[in-house]
Amino acid sequence: MSDKKNTTDWQHESNSVVEEERPKLKKPSLYKVVLLNDDYTPMEFVVELLELFFGLTRENATRIMLSIHTEGKGVCGIYTQDVAETKAGIVNQYSRDHQHPLLCEIEPCNDEEE
């Protein structure tokens, strides 16, 4: 017979419990998808694009389009990096396909404290 009869797998021989390390999980970084103003893209095209690719209602799409028109740029949505990059790429391709100079970029969101 062994001397260790009261020692289970998860105990050291000293009887101290082995604590598992907490998994180090990081929240994914978030990115803003930003639309830039220009003098040529029709307002209606921008509103339709915001409805189509960002799931905005006509009312919210119009509000955001007008704020981009007056402020120079504006945020259409906030996503993880891969989704933000994909959205910006799709918007830029769609604008090129329709011969409009509209540009879409992504910007990192400032990290908030945990």
Q: Mark 54-73 with x for binding to ligand TYC (rule: CB under 6 A) and - for no binding.
A: -----------x--xx----
Nearest partner of 34 among 90, 74, 68, 71, judged by Cα: 74
Q: Does 49 bind ligand TYC (CB under 6 A)?
A: no
Question: Segment near ligand TYC (CB under 6 A), from 9-17, 21-29, 34-42, 78-86?
Answer: 34-42
Question: How many positions of this chain bind ligand TYC (CB under 6 A)?
Answer: 13
Give the containing element (helix H, strand E) for 61: helix 58-71
37 neighbors 105 (Cβ within 8 angstroms): no
Question: Cβ of residue 80: shortest distance to ligand TYC, in angstroms?
Answer: 23
38 binds ligand TYC per the rule CB under 6 A: yes
Does 95 bind ligand TYC (CB under 6 A)? Our answer is no
Calpha distance 101→107 (Å, rounded): 20
Binding-site member from 35, 56, 76, 91 for ligand TYC (CB under 6 A): 35
H or E element that contains 107: strand 104-108
Q: What are the structure tokens assigned to 7, written together?
A: 């020692």
The contact set with ligand TYC (CB under 6 A) reads 35-39, 41-43, 46, 65, 68-69, 102
